[in-house]
Amino acid sequence: MTRSKEQNRGTPAASQSRHYHELAKARIAGGVNSNVRLSSAPVCFASGKGSRLTDVDGNVYIDYALGMGPTILGHAPPAVTAEVSRTLALGQLFAGQHTLELELANQFCACVRSAELVRFGLSGSEMVQAAIRVARAFTGRPEVIKFEGHYHGWFDNILINMSPPVAAEGNPIPRPRHLQSGGQSAHASDDFTVLPWNDAGAIDQYVGANASRVAAIITEPIMFNTGGILPKPGYLEHLRRVTKEHGIVLIFDEVITGFRVALGGAQELYDITPDLSVFAKALGAGFPVAALAGRRDIMEMFASGGVNHSGTYNANLVSLSAALASVRELSANDQAAYKRINCVGKALMEGIAAAGRRRGVDLQVSGLPSAFHTCFATRPIHDYATYSSANQKKLGLFLSALLESGVRPTSRGTWFVSATHTDEDVALTLDAVEQGLQRIL
């Protein structure tokens, strides 16, 4: 692979991508099919292989967006595409069962410590809804606690306080509810309460007074959607203790962390067993598959408790075979994929932070080697307020400079690492970071 910097010819304004974007806008709302992409540079990609993407102008990028996290084995991973191709000839969808379902369920439950029973679906958003529904049915309580800055999908009830204004003086608990979309029902989130994350006192204060109403607490175990913020030591344990004490269902949203930060997700990394957890993204290596898993007595409610979880395309053969191959690859050779990911990610995190220090820039790098976040802020990022203090304009200029050098983190400054990123990728990336920082000084 030649040096991506030399191949690029001035992204993202390159002519074919621009042309495509103009045509697409005339036929597809905004020219994109997910609103998250509205904030990305309008690059039209032709193909991806391993750690690299090629756009329609022939520019090559070292990709750290990885489809917003899923393609942990790189683009078009041979073991996964071969398995999917093999099952294509068997049919796609039977409105009935297939042996691959049980095979994947067994493999999944062997990886995920909290998984006694599992259901498969297609997206994180919908499985979060299933988790909330079954938690309410199980407890007979209405209320769900979510945290400021956490994202759990785009559905009306839970698309709140992902990026709210920073809490006013006095840090009210709970936070005022902040809707995040035009057309969103204000009432859908009536039973949701928003608290600051990583704040054991806020949990004690709110749950202490309202426990009998609270069905569930849902949390990203690592706050990857806002600043790559790690849980404070003891915080997840505190959530586990309080929820157990009050009969509240603890839901880990492992859509990003699952099969990424460890084979068994953040629950393995932090040695915590939630009651329910939601998986998607890295589970399917780029194919649409998601899972809700957890305690047998709660998950049984889908079988005998009258709780509905449905979906025409659930457990279709493409999704099942992709997930099976993906989990197999991630487990292979004593989990060599994670060793590679962590080694590359560590070199990137350290190299990027060192470049910032060398240039005297207020560049902050937070998270874990498998997924981390970069932003420009005078203080380390440890909560929603510090994240919100980051200089978005500077980040935008830095990301544009990186893209022009052929390096592509997400448009929010998150970097996902795959098992196919090479030492050469790291060296080229750190070169691009140096140049990018020089450009914004």
Q: Which is nearer to ligand PLP, 381 or 401 (CB)?
A: 381
Q: Is 281 among the residues known to form the active site?
A: yes
Find the catalytic residue in 20, 64, 151, 206.
151
Find the catalytic residue in 253, 275, 383, 425.
253
CB of 118 to ligand PLP, least distance (A): 17
CB of 123 to ligand PLP, least distance (A): 4
Q: Is 5 among the residues known to form the active site?
A: no
Residue nearest to ligand PLP (CB): 124
Q: Is 232 among the residues known to form the active site?
A: no
Q: Which is nearer to ligand PLP, 260 or 295 (CB)?
A: 260
Find the catalytic residue in 235, 281, 387, 425.
281
CB of 144 to ligand PLP, least distance (A): 14
CB of 97 to ligand PLP, least distance (A): 24
Q: Which is nearer to ligand PLP, 145 or 401 (CB)?
A: 145
CB of 223 to ligand PLP, least distance (A): 9
Q: What are phi and psi of 436, to 5 degrees?
A: -65, -40
Q: Which is nearer to ligand PLP, 51 or 125 (CB)?
A: 125
CB of 313 to ligand PLP, least distance (A): 13
Q: Which is nearer to ligand PLP, 153 or 351 (CB)?
A: 153
CB of 220 to ligand PLP, least distance (A): 5
Pairing of strands 407-408, 414-416: unpaired
Rounded Cα–Cα distance for residues 394 and 196 (Å)? 26
Which residues contribute to the site for ligand PLP (CB under 6 A)? Answer: 68, 123-125, 128, 151-153, 220, 225, 253, 255-256, 280
Q: Which is nearer to ligand PLP, 286 or 345 (CB)?
A: 286
* Residues with active-site annotation: 151, 253, 281
